[in-house]
Amino acid sequence: MTAQAAAATADRPSSTWTGWGQWLALVTMTIDHLTRYALPTGWELDWAGASIGRIAFPLFAAMVAWHGLFNTRNPLRYARRILVIGLVAQLPYMMMPRASDAFILNVCFTLAAGLAWGAWLRDLLARQRRGELEAYWVVLGIAVSLTVWQLLGDWVEYGHRGLLLIPLFMLAMHRLHQAGDALTERLTAVAFTLPVLVVAGLMNSSDMAKSFTVATCLAILWLAAGAHRLTPAVPSAMPRRLWLAWYPGHFALIALWLWASGVIG
């Protein structure tokens, strides 16, 4: 290993917490989807989706941002892998009963697009700092990306705010991890967390849903600020195949249940 590679490895934060995050994300997502689509409304379990279920998306977004920032050399290839899962899941996702008939792409498209956007902006700014791009090209690039964000936000799950969450997470995580002991550095890093929390709060309508979403984001930002060092290893690591197959697979099972129950034809 070269000295440069060794330094990069030493500077990389521990990702042990993501082992716990994977289990929690799958459980909370499944609870959300079961209460929303599969279980009878007479059971009055909407509170579970509006509380526990609101943990899932910010947790998925945080893990994607974390891995895209610290653990992969090619964030765009990582985004493509997420996109493949979304393509497989889209058909059973479209079979879920909804109040609106509007065509919406599932959350994997939101995560993939958010990661690609965050990685692209990071690279754009890095090139400008190295003197490879003039400032006006950076401004033009950001303007074009915001136009794409505006157009794409109407077509993906969690909309415009969902697309913003991963780039904002990446920015906040980077600043928190790089902050030194100086008070000004710490205050600057904290300031970069505020957009994450504002967007998280705006993503839901009920106070309970807002509380769970914002609390999840706060916990992740706390980990990025240094608490990642305190996280013990998960006793049972999630099998990779289960992690990749669960999202499309659980939608397929719910769709099969709804078809067998006569809810969908």
What pLDDT, on a 0 to 100 scale, did the predictor assign at position 199? 96
The pLDDT value given to residue 5 = 44
Residue 170 placed within a domain: yes
Whether 220 maps to a domain, the answer reads yes
Amino acid at residue number 226: G
Classify residue 5: in a domain, yes or no: no
Give, as one character, the DSSP assignment of residue 156: B
260 has a pLDDT exceeding 90? no
Q: For tokens 């050399």, name the residue.
A: 73
- Rounded to two decimals, the pTM is 0.92
Percentage with pLDDT > 70 across the chain: 95
Q: Which residues contact 251 (CB under 8 A, 6 or more apart)?
A: 33, 89, 92, 93, 95, 96
> Has residue 235 got a pLDDT over 70?
yes
Average pLDDT estimate for 146-168: 96
Q: Is residue 26 part of a domain?
A: yes
Rounded to the nearest 10 degrees, the angle between the axes of helix 107-129 and helix 135-152 is: 170
pLDDT for 119 = 96
* Residue 10 falls inside a structural domain: no
Task: Report helix, strand or coil for 105.
Answer: strand
147, two tokens: 């136009």
43 vs 234, more confident: 234
Statement: residue 1 has pLDDT above 80 = no
pLDDT of residue 265: 66
Domain residue limits at 193: 15-260
In a domain, 242, yes or no: yes
Strand partners, 89: none
Count of structural domains within the chain: 1
Q: Is residue 1 part of a domain?
A: no
25 lies in some domain: yes
